[in-house]
């Protein structure tokens, strides 16, 4: 039950009665009259349960991009129903104008569209549809909240996609279509063609040139159909925020850029995310829209306050197949976490695969180490230097174990990782 | 900057004064007004009250009182209900009540009890007092600007006229256009100005006054006072306002209640957000720094800073990780052109740990400066 604005006005109208008959009893009589009218109105008000409310699926949208939620309200009763409907979402779903006036004849239906603007990654839930139907006098309304489940999947924003064109251009350079070509151990022979100025003279095929009047060069194309396995760590260390963005989100950005690039290069992408257990797993057989699939797989991942179980994650990597692959571990370079968890499984991984560790570095650490104004600053700087030194030692240790470490700021990690991938590809090290 | 200035201004007492200047001025004026009102308005109960027998002013009644005593009437002036009781006014006594507006329910009751048998003349009774006396109703103003004849069958006033600036008709029939009404032993005087010093000489005012008050050998002049009232005597606030105000007020309370119920009901429950835990990645490092600070381990902090500088300088000068410390110190000293001992004092792991916090700060600054020099040269 809910009152409307007319009820206080009706009570206020009692002033006339009081002026006509100035006595305390007229107030009580008037109140009784108002109560009677309200009770009557409540009895006559249509029941919210006479409406059926259905939500249409909302689908997925990139974080920060608008979406719409459609709720269809049908009047199942035999009376005309008017009132207001509120479609409530959790605040970060950004449901702004979510109150809809309705007026439905018997059997009528209306689609109520609530604009959404997700501000947070993940599955954002609808919290229920509240229906408020006033009675014929408009004094009192019946109100009920109906649970109409619904979610909007807010995908990782993939802000690093702006780096994709430049990396794709460099990938084409590797393809042998351009003048700049790199020879490598693992590059595959493609075809013979006429020499043009600018080609590497080392790639001239003398035997073929001898048979023709022109100088002929060999062309290679980079290896194709390699495997890239992205391992996303969602454990406690990924919860830490760098410039108010969780490390996990920055790692996702880097993973998406690499996946988009590798898919264009003709490689197959596998993806596994987990902490204590595997949270998400995705096999893609070299599809081109792998970034979109991956975004969907990543959407509802969130950091878990638990230590990562690298045995389980390494097992998942091996489970994708025994073919040699580029395994990209997206985990922060946290010395203690790595020494206790990752180190024990690294030898198994490096024996079969090429392993790269991509970590989000915190620029705040360098700022803290450089600030030396007060005694507090100096002690903080000492702590920061300590942390930097330990990271460096861990990084050296990993390098010695045959792991490439890409450690960069949140903004620079995606292009840095893509560049590392391209250089590996150019050298034929995949 | 303005923010800082604001904060400092707020902190000082002068700043406080300046901030609340308007409020202070208003408060001062209010206090002043109350004091003035108390000093001027509150003085009505003293000897200079209107119709007071000792008031020689224009609105006093000293002339009438003096003439009465000169004519051999025994005049007692009493200024409280207690004194009135002590005066023992009974048969053969006229009790004159002035400042009658200050009478309340309890004082009226005492007046009737203590003056049983006496003739009571109430000067200028208001509507509230008339109610208390059991004579409700007032017929409004009388026209006394021109001489008004007695026109009643009371022989005392036969042939006399009164003329005052303003008068009120009393309930019942009486003389002088109903401004002087006698009910049993109670006389109500609605034209009190005929007693005042400056109007007593108009028309036959003096004669009327003396005949009214001087009928008996003794006059007790009772100047009523608020001081004699007891708790609930005062004039009730609700008796002054129109009678619809009280139920109207109750109705307004109900309106507010309905407003609260109307606005207080939400359209559905609050939307809640499952909030993530916000952990800044730098948090552990900062806590480690605070831990160092609390333990005051300057030696450890200095060693860490030196080691970090050594590592960076080594990378910068491309010396390789295997370079021993003496070589490093020598090369750095040569590179930046500083004495070897000075550089060793800064860089060497065996150098003296700083003794005070100030030393630690200057060491940290010197290390940063050295790195900068290496980078530039």
Region B342-349 average pLDDT: 87
What is the rounded distance in angstroms from the CA atom of residue A49 to the CA atom of residue A55?
16
| Alpha-carbon torsion (A417, A422, A425, A429), positive or negative | negative
Q: What is the pLDDT of residue A182?
A: 46
How does pLDDT run across A254-268, given as a tens digit for each residue? 999 999 999 888 888
The full 3-state SS of A6-19, as one line of letters, equals: HHHHHHHHHHHHHH
Q: So what's the ipTM on this one?
A: 0.73
Contact A382 B301 (CB under 8 A): yes
Residue A212 within any structural domain of the chain: no
Mean of all residue pLDDT scores within chain A: 89
Torsion angle of C-alpha atoms B37, B40, B43, B47, degrees rounded to 10: -170
> Is the pLDDT reported for residue A202 higher than 90?
no
Q: What is the pLDDT of residue B42?
A: 47
Identify the closest residue of chain A to B275 by CA–CA distance: A92
Q: What is the pLDDT of residue A176?
A: 56
Residue B2 within any structural domain of the chain: no
Start-to-end C-alpha separation, chain A: 68
A239: containing domain = 224-426
Cβ A119 vs Cβ A92: under 8 Å: yes
- The partner residue sitting opposite B305, judged by closest CB among A12, A99, A381, is A381
Residue A197 within any structural domain of the chain: no
- Cα dist from B8 to A150, B19, B20, B180, whole Å: 53, 12, 15, 73
pLDDT band at B264 (very low <50, low <70, confident <90, very high): very high
> Is the pLDDT reported for residue B129 higher than 60?
yes
Q: What is the pLDDT of residue B10?
A: 47
Nearest to A10 by CA among A102, A135, A130, A103: A135
Residue at a domain's end among B193, B218, B236:
B236
Same domain, B183 and B85: yes
Residue B81 within any structural domain of the chain: yes
Does residue B339 sit at the A interface (CB-CB below 8 Å)? no
What is the rounded distance in angstroms from the CA atom of residue A145 to the CA atom of residue A14?
33
Task: Kindly list the residues from chain A whose CB atom is less than 8 angstroms away from the CB atom of residue B355.
Answer: none
Strand partners, A141: A2, A134
Same domain, B220 and B311: no
Residue A15 within any structural domain of the chain: yes
- Give chain A's domain count: 2
Residue B23 within any structural domain of the chain: no
Residue at a domain's end among B187, B211, B236:
B236
Residue B26 within any structural domain of the chain: no
Strand partners, B138: none
Does residue A72 sit at the B interface (CB-CB below 8 Å)? no
- Give chain B's domain count: 2
A199-213, B39-53, B299-313, range with the lowest pLDDT: B39-53
131-160 in chain A: CB under 8 A from chain B: 132, 143, 145
Region B324-353 average pLDDT: 88
Residue B49 within any structural domain of the chain: no
> Is the pLDDT reported for residue A225 higher than 80?
no
Q: What is the pLDDT of residue B145?
A: 82
CB within 8 Å of B195: residues ≥ 6 apart: B51, B61, B64, B123, B189, B209
Radius of gyration (Cα) for chain A, nearest Å?
32
- Cα dist from A337 to A143, A308, A361, whole Å: 53, 8, 15
Q: What is the pLDDT of residue A187?
A: 54
Start-to-end C-alpha separation, chain B: 39
Q: What is the pLDDT of residue A400?
A: 93
Same domain, A247 and A335: yes
pLDDT band at B40 (very low <50, low <70, confident <90, very high): low
Q: Which two tokens stand for residue A62?
A: 């990139």
Region A28-57 average pLDDT: 93
Residue at a domain's end among A155, A180, A204:
A155
Residue A129 within any structural domain of the chain: yes
Same domain, A151 and A231: no
Residue A201 within any structural domain of the chain: no
Instruction: Say how many C-beta atoms besides its own lie within 10 A of residue B375's C-beta.
Output: 10
Task: Kindly list the residues from chain A whose CB atom is less than 8 angstroms away from the CB atom of residue B247.
Answer: 18, 22-24, 26-27
What is the rounded distance in angstroms from the CA atom of residue B269 to the CA atom of residue B293?
48
Strand partners, A153: A60, A123
How does pLDDT run across B231-261, given as a tens digit for each residue? 666 556 766 778 888 889 999 999 999 999 9
> Is the pLDDT reported for residue A296 higher than 70?
yes
Residue A339's CATH number: 3.40.50.410
Q: Where are the beta strands (DSSP E) in A276-378?
A: 278-283, 325-330, 354-361
Does residue B375 sit at the A interface (CB-CB below 8 Å)? no
Q: What is the pLDDT of residue B2?
A: 39
Contact B248 A18 (CB under 8 A): yes
> Is the pLDDT reported for residue B193 higher than 80?
yes
CA B204 from centroid of its chain's CA atoms: 50
Residue A397 within any structural domain of the chain: yes
Cβ A248 vs Cβ A256: under 8 Å: no
Residue A166 within any structural domain of the chain: no
Residue at a domain's end among A140, A155, A170:
A155
Q: What is the pLDDT of residue A186?
A: 44
Instruction: Say how many C-beta atoms besides its own lie within 10 A of residue A49's C-beta.
Output: 12
> Is the pLDDT reported for residue B162 higher than 90?
no
Contact A385 B308 (CB under 8 A): yes
Residue A193 within any structural domain of the chain: no
Same domain, B93 and B193: yes
Region B109-134 average pLDDT: 83
Same domain, A138 and A286: no
Q: What is the pLDDT of residue B41?
A: 53
Identify the closest residue of chain A to B255 by CA–CA distance: A8
Q: How does strand A140-146 pair with strand A151-155? A: unpaired
What is the rounded distance in angstroms from the CA atom of residue B374 to the CA atom of residue B332?
7
Does residue B285 sit at the A interface (CB-CB below 8 Å)? yes
Task: Kindly list the residues from chain B whose CB atom is less than 8 angstroms away from the CB atom of residue A114.
Answer: none
Same domain, B85 and B228: yes
CA distance A368 to chain B (A): 9
- Cα dist from B53 to A196, B64, B198, B219, whole Å: 136, 8, 14, 12
Q: What is the pLDDT of residue B202?
A: 85
Q: What is the pLDDT of residue B131?
A: 79
Same domain, B313 and B229: no
> Is the pLDDT reported for residue A85 higher than 90?
yes
B346: containing domain = 296-376
Nearest to A389 by CA among B368, B308, B320, B300: B308
Region A54-65 average pLDDT: 90
Q: b or e along A276-311 (b: 16 or more beta carbons within 10 Å of the residue's beta carbon)?
A: eebbbebebeeeeebbbbbbebbbbbbbbeeebbbe
Widest distance between CA atoms in chain A: 124
Does residue A12 sit at the B interface (CB-CB below 8 Å)? yes
Same domain, B229 and B307: no
Q: What is the pLDDT of residue A185?
A: 42
Task: Kindly list the residues from chain A whose CB atom is less than 8 angstroms away from the CB atom of residue B267.
Answer: 2, 84, 86, 99, 130, 132, 143
Q: Is A348 exposed, middle or buried (0-12, 13-18, 19+ CB in 10 A)?
A: middle
> Is the pLDDT reported for residue A180 higher than 80?
no
Residue A14's CATH number: 2.60.40.10
- Cα dist from A386 to A264, A326, A366, A369, B286, whole Å: 42, 32, 11, 9, 11
A1-5, A22-26, A163-167, A402-406, range with the lowest pLDDT: A22-26
CB within 8 Å of A7: residues ≥ 6 apart: A34, A38, A139, A140, B258, B261, B262
Contact A379 B290 (CB under 8 A): yes
């Amino acid at each position: 039950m809910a009152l409307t604005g007319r009820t206080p006005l009706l009570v206020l109208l009692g002033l006339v009665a009081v002026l006509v008959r100035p006595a305390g009893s007229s107030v009580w009589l008037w109140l009784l009259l108002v109560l009677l009218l309200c009770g009557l109105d409540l009895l006559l008000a249509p029941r919210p349960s006479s409406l059926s409310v259905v939500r249409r699926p909302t689908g997925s949208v990139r974080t920060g991009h608008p979406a719409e939620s459609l709720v269809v309200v049908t009047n199942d009763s035999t009376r005309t129903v008017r009132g207001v409907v509120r479609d409530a979402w959790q605040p970060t779903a950004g449901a702004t104008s979510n109150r809809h006036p309705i007026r439905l004849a018997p059997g009528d239906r209306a689609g109520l569209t609530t604009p959404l603007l997700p501000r947070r990654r993940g599955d954002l839930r609808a919290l229920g549809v509240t229906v408020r139907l006033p009675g014929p006098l408009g004094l009192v309304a019946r109100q009920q909240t109906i649970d109409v489940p619904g979610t909007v999947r807010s995908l990782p924003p993939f802000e690093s996609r702006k780096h994709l064109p430049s990396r794709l251009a460099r990938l084409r350079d590797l393809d042998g279509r351009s003048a700049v070509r790199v020879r490598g151990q693992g590059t595959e022979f493609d075809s013979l063609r006429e020499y043009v100025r600018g080609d590497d003279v080392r790639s001239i095929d003398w035997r073929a040139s001898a048979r023709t009047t022109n100088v002929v060069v060999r062309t290679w194309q980079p290896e194709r159909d390699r495997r890239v396995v992205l391992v996303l760590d969602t454990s406690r260390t990924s919860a830490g925020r760098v410039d108010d963005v969780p490390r996990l989100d920055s790692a996702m950005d880097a993973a998406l850029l690499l996946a988009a690039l590798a898919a264009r290069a003709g490689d197959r992408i596998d993806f596994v995310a987990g902490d204590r257990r595997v949270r998400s797993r995705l096999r893609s057989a070299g599809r081109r829209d792998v970034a979109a699939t991956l975004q969907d797989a990543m959407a509802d991942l969130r950091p878990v306050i638990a230590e990562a179980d690298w045995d389980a994650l390494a097992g998942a990597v091996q489970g994708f197949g025994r073919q040699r692959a580029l395994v990209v571990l997206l985990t922060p370079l946290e010395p203690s976490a790595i020494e206790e968890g990752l180190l024990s499984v690294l030898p198994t991984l490096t024996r079969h695969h090429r392993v790269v560790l991509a970590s989000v570095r915190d620029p705040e650490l360098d700022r803290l180490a450089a600030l030396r104004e007060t005694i507090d600053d100096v002690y903080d700087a000492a702590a920061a230097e300590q942390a930097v030194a330990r990271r460096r030692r861990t990084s050296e240790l990993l390098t010695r174990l045959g792991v490439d470490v890409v450690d960069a700021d949140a903004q620079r990690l995606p292009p840095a990782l893509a560049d590392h991938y391209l250089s590996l590809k150019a050298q034929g090290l995949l | 900057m303005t923010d800082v200035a604001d904060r400092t201004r707020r902190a000082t007492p002068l700043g406080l004064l300046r901030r609340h200047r308007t409020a202070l001025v208003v408060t001062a004026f209010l206090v002043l007004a109350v004091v003035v009102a108390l000093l001027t308005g509150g003085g009505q109960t003293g000897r200079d009250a209107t119709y007071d027998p000792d008031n020689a002013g224009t609105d006093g009644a000293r002339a009438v009182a003096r003439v009465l005593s000169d004519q051999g009437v025994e005049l007692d002036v009493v200024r409280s209900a207690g004194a009135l009781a002590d005066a023992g006014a009974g048969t053969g006594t006229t009790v004159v009540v002035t400042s009658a507006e200050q009478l309340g329910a309890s004082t009226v009751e005492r007046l009737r009890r203590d003056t049983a048998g006496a003739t009571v003349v109430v000067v200028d009774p208001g509507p509230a007092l008339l109610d208390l006396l059991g004579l409700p109703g007032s017929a409004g103003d009388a026209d006394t600007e021109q001489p008004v004849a007695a026109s009643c069958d009371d022989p005392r006033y036969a042939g006399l006229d009164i003329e005052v600036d303003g008068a009120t008709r009393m309930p019942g029939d009486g003389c002088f256009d109903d401004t002087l009404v006698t009910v049993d032993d109670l006389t109500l005087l609605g034209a009190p100005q005929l007693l005042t010093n400056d109007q007593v000489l108009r028309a036959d005012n003096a004669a009327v006054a003396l005949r009214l008050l001087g009928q008996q050998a003794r006059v007790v002049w009772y100047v009523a006072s608020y001081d004699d009232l007891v708790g609930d005597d005062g004039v009730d606030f609700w008796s002054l306002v129109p009678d619809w105000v009280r139920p109207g007020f109750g109705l307004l309370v109900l309106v507010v209640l309905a407003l609260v119920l109307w606005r207080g009901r939400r359209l559905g429950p609050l939307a809640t957000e499952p909030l993530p835990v916000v952990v800044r990645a730098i948090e552990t490092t900062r806590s480690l720094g605070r831990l160092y600070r609390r333990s005051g381990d300057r030696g450890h902090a200095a060693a860490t800073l030196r080691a970090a500088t050594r590592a960076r300088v080594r990378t910068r000068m491309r010396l390789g990780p295997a370079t021993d410390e003496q070589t490093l110190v020598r090369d750095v000293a040569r590179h930046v052109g500083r004495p070897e001992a000075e550089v060793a004092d800064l860089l060497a792991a065996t150098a003296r740990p700083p003794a005070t916090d100030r030393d630690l700060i200057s060491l940290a600054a010197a290390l940063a400066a050295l790195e900068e020099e290496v980078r530039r040269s």
